[in-house]
Structure 1
Amino acid sequence: MAVVDVALAGRSYRVRVGAGLLDVAHCEAHAFIEPYGMRSIPIVADANAKRLLGERLQASFRSAGHAIDWYEVTPGEGSKSWAELERLTDWLLTRGITRSDHVFALGGGVVGDLVGFACAILKRGCGFVQLPTTLLAQVDSSVGGKTAINASAGKNLIGAFHQPSLVLADTSCLATLPPREMRAGLAEVFKYGLLGDAEFFARVDESSEAILACDDGVLETTIAHCVGMKARIVAEDERETKDARALLNLGHTFGHALEAETGFGDRLLHGEAVALGMVLAARFSARRDLISLADAENVADALARAGLPTEISALGLDCDGAALADHMRHDKKAGGGTIPFILLRKLGEAYVARDVSLADVAAFMDEQLQAH
Structure 2
Amino acid sequence: MKVTRVKSDSGTYDVYVGEQLRYKIESLLPKSYSSVMIITDDLVARHYLEDVRNSIIQYDRVYTSIINHGESSKSIDTFYRLHSDAIDYGLDRKSLIIALGGGVVGDLAGFVAATYMRGIDFVQMPTTILAHDSSVGGKVAINHQKGKNLIGNFFSPAAVVYDVDTIHSLSAQEFRSGYAEIVKEALIADRHFFDELMQTGLSRLTNAEIASHINKGIAIKAEVVESDEKEAGIRKHLNFGHTFGHALEALQGYSGIAHGEAVAIGMLFALQVSEAVFSVQLPFDKLYSWLETNSYPLQLPEMDLQHIINTMKLDKKTEGTTIQMVLLKSIAHPVTVEVSDADLKNHLELFKKKLSTRL
Please indicate the TM-score interval, normalised by the length of the shorter structure.
Answer: over 0.9
Give the deviation of 1:179 after TM superposition: 1.2
Quick check: 73-82 or 95-104, which moved more? 95-104
Match of 1:321 among 297, 305, 325: 305
Match of 1:286 among 275, 281, 295: 275
Counterpart contact for 1:285–1:345, Cα < 8 Å? yes
Q: Distance in 1 between matches of 2:221 and 2:196?
A: 18
Q: Distance in 2 between matches of 1:195 and 1:35?
A: 39
CA deviation profile, 1:181-203 (whole Å, cap 9, x unmatched): 10110000100111111110111
Counterpart contact for 1:47–1:73, Cα < 8 Å? yes
Q: Name the counterpart of 2:292.
A: 304
4+ long deviations beyond 6 Å: none
Q: Distance in 2 between matches of 1:220 and 1:66?
A: 34
Counterpart contact for 2:21–2:163, Cα < 8 Å? yes
Q: Name the counterpart of 1:245.
A: 235
Q: State TM-score, norm by structure 2.
A: 0.94
Quick check: 325-334 or 295-304, which moved more? 295-304
Give the deviation of 1:214 after TM superposition: 5.3
Q: Does 1:105 align with 2:99?
A: yes
Quick check: 145-154 or 318-327, which moved more? 318-327
Q: Distance in 1 between matches of 2:236 and 2:290?
A: 23
Question: What does 1:193-342 correspond to in 2, within 5 Å?
Answer: 193-209=186-202, 212-213=203-204, 215-242=206-233, 244-265=234-255, 267-292=256-281, 295-309=283-297, 311=298, 314-315=299-300, 317-342=301-326
Counterpart contact for 1:23–1:60, Cα < 8 Å? yes
In the comparison of the two structures, how many residue pairs are matched? 355
Q: Distance in 1 between matches of 2:191 and 2:279?
A: 16
Q: Name the counterpart of 2:33.
A: 35
Counterpart contact for 2:10–2:155, Cα < 8 Å? no
Match of 1:352 among 318, 328, 336: 336
Q: State TM-score, norm by structure 1.
A: 0.91
Q: Name the counterpart of 1:17.
A: 17
Give the deviation of 1:357 after TM superposition: 1.0
Question: What does 1:134-213 correspond to in 2, within 5 Å?
Answer: 134-138=128-132, 140-209=133-202, 212-213=203-204
CA deviation profile, 1:173-227 (whole Å, cap 9, x unmatched): 0011111110110000100111111110111122343xx5552211222111111
Give the deviation of 1:229 after TM superposition: 0.9
Q: Distance in 2 between matches of 1:187 and 1:240?
A: 21
Q: Distance in 1 between matches of 2:201 and 2:2?
A: 20
Counterpart contact for 2:108–2:141, Cα < 8 Å? yes
Identity %: 35
Counterpart contact for 1:321–1:363, Cα < 8 Å? no
Q: Distance in 2 between matches of 1:192 and 1:67?
A: 39
Q: Relative to structure 1, is the Cα distance of residues 100 and 214 closer, same or farther in structure 2, using a 3 angstrom cutoff?
A: farther
List alignment gaps of at least 5 residues for structure 1.
Answer: none
Give the deviation of 1:69 after TM superposition: 1.4
Letter in 1 for 2:3: V
Letter in 2 for 1:151: H
Match of 2:40 among 33, 41, 45: 45
